[in-house]
């Protein structure tokens, strides 16, 4: 099985990858057959060795391959056997930060596998995401506070996540209001 996770929204893409790893570790407690291969540093032969290695404890393998975009040698060799990998019981996840260049490799992955692209959120989806993030911390926030936060931070979810954590700590279970949002130093906007 082949999967591809990519996109400009690296926060949500990395969070998704972490969720996949956590889910795998819950099912396969040993974690011995989870391998992360950075293709900036490794070659196709390194991947092939991991793929062909007989898994311990009869567990399904999870191979996470990062940064394949710039490894032309890997892409060419992988494409020669792409159908074999797609039909395999082992799980191969490609992870790319940012946009990907559409080429024969990524077209084949999209055709034979599954993929999820994480685009930057528009304003409406960003507001929903912010509200959901506060729920993760069992915190409540007023709509006007959400709007102010979205206006000040924008769709940089790395920064937004940190600002949300600060507000949650500041309010300690109380409802977060618009005036609470401006407590922090948003120097980018001169506020």
Contact 109, 141 (CB under 8 A): no
Which of 59-95 are b and which e, b meaning 16 or more Cβ less than 10 Å from the residue's Cβ? bebbbbbbbbbebeebbebbbeebeebeebebbbbbb
Question: What domains can you pick out in the chain, each with its CATH number?
Answer: 2-117 (3.40.50.300), 123-189 (1.10.8.60)
| Token duo for residue 113 | 């596998």
Contact 4, 106 (CB under 8 A): yes
Distances (CA, A) of 129 to 96, 103, 139, 167: 22, 32, 14, 16
Can you give the pLDDT at residue 183? Answer: 61
Can you give the pLDDT at residue 93? Answer: 95
Residues of the chain with pLDDT under 70: 55-57, 183-191
Contacts 24+ apart (CB under 8 A), 12-17: 12/118, 12/157, 13/95, 13/97, 13/118, 16/116, 16/118, 17/64, 17/93, 17/95
State the DSSP code for 3: E
Question: What CA–CA distance (Å, rounded) separates 97 from 93?
Answer: 13
Can you give the pLDDT at residue 161? Answer: 95
Can you give the pLDDT at residue 57? Answer: 64
Measured on CA atoms in the order 86, 90, 91, 96, is the torsion positive or negative? negative
pLDDT tens-digit profile of 28-82?
888 788 999 999 999 999 999 989 887 666 778 999 999 999 899 999 999 999 9
Can you give the pLDDT at residue 184? Answer: 61
* Ranges assigned E (strand) in 75-160: 91-97, 114-117
Which of 122-138 are b and which e, b meaning 16 or more Cβ less than 10 Å from the residue's Cβ? eeeebbebbeebbeeee
């Amino acid at each position: 099985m082949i999967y591809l996770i990519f996109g400009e929204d690296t926060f949500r893409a990395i969070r998704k990858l972490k969720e996949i790893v956590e889910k795998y570790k819950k099912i396969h407690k040993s974690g011995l057959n989870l391998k992360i291969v950075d293709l900036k540093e490794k070659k196709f032969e390194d991947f092939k060795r991991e793929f062909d290695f007989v898994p311990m404890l009869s567990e399904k393998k999870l191979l996470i391959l990062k940064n394949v975009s710039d490894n032309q040698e890997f892409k060419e060799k992988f494409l020669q056997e792409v159908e074999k990998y797609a039909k395999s019981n082992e799980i191969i996840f490609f992870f790319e930060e940012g946009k990907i260049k559409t080429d024969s490799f990524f077209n084949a992955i999209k055709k034979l596998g599954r993929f999820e692209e994480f685009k930057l959120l528009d304003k409406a989806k960003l507001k929903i995401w912010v509200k959901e993030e506060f729920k993760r911390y069992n915190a409540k926030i007023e709509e006007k506070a959400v709007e102010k936060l979205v206006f000040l931070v924008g769709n940089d979810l790395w920064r937004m996540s940190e600002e949300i954590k600060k507000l949650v700590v500041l309010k300690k279970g109380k409802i977060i209001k618009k005036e609470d949002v401006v407590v922090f130093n948003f120097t980018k906007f001169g506020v």
